[in-house]
A = this chain, B = another copy of it.
Amino acid sequence: MNFTDSLTTDTLTEERKGMTYYDEHSKVLVSVDCIIFGFDEGKLRVLIGRRQLNPGRGLWSLYGGFVRNNESIDDAANRVLFELTGLNNLYMRQVWAFGNVDRDPGERVISIVYYALINTNDYDEELRKQHEVEWINIDELPQMYSDHNEMVAKARRMMQENISREPISFRLLPELFTLTQLQRLYEAVCGEEVDKRNFRKRIKEMDFIEKTELIDKTGSKRGAYLYRFNKKVYNEEPNFKL
């Protein structure tokens, strides 16, 4: 990728020895690590488990996997997500590449972090138990393996930005939801309370948040109207502003 061949010494030597431009020696393991966000009982949660392999066996950890030669990094993230959840087409965004030399105690690994959003109801409890992962409140995460806490922090920051740009809340909620649920989610993501009336005012301006005639009585005696995200309306005029 340099323009000239005035490379620094060690690479230069290799080049002179007749090695190809693509130097085998600089190859490195690349993994993807996934922060899977869910929303349950009013809390933003992250799916984590205990490492079953060394190094770090038993430590809390994000779920991840190595990038294979025949797949893009996005594909790798999707594969890992599918392995864990059995779900495809999850909302997923790249967060950051972590590349300190000693970040993994076993070998040098560069890790590309993604975050994904799932509706916890869509995630099969059996599968969750099989993988021995748990939904942990993001504000009560334990110390995790390597730099995984830092990864979650970065992912959360990114998600906070994205929630005001794209309608991503609906990925974390069931198809039908109440405005209070939506507000609690927003508050959990942003980490601060918002005013109910102001929040609802803004929601009313977004035509793609559709009121149904259905009423949810699980959250209150009186019952609350259920709303739904209308993707078609959103695509036609995405007047999104949160």
Contact = CB atoms under 8 A, between A and B. Distances in A.
Interface in A184-208: none
A135 interface: no
Interface string A71-104: 1111010011001000000000010110111000
Interface in A172-230: none
Interface string A128-151: 001111000000000000000000
Contacts of A74: 99
Contacts of A76: 99
B99 A65 contact: no
Copies of this chain, complex-wide, total 2
A235 interface: no
Nearest to A96: B94
A110 B30 contact: yes
B2 A67 contact: no
A99 B67 contact: yes
A106 B1 contact: no
Given A3-B133, A65-B2, A83-B2, A29 B27 contact: yes
B70 A101 contact: yes
B110 A51 contact: no
A38 interface: no
A68 interface: yes
A226 to B, nearest CB: 36
Given A3-B63, A21-B53, A33-B1, A26 B69 contact: yes
Interface string A41-82: 000000001111110000001111111111111101001100
Interface string A4-27: 110110110000000001110111
Given A3-B132, A30-B99, 15 more contacts: A1-B64, A1-B66, A2-B63, A3-B49, A4-B52, A7-B65, A7-B83, A23-B66, A26-B29, A30-B110, A72-B101, A73-B100, A74-B99, A94-B96, A110-B110
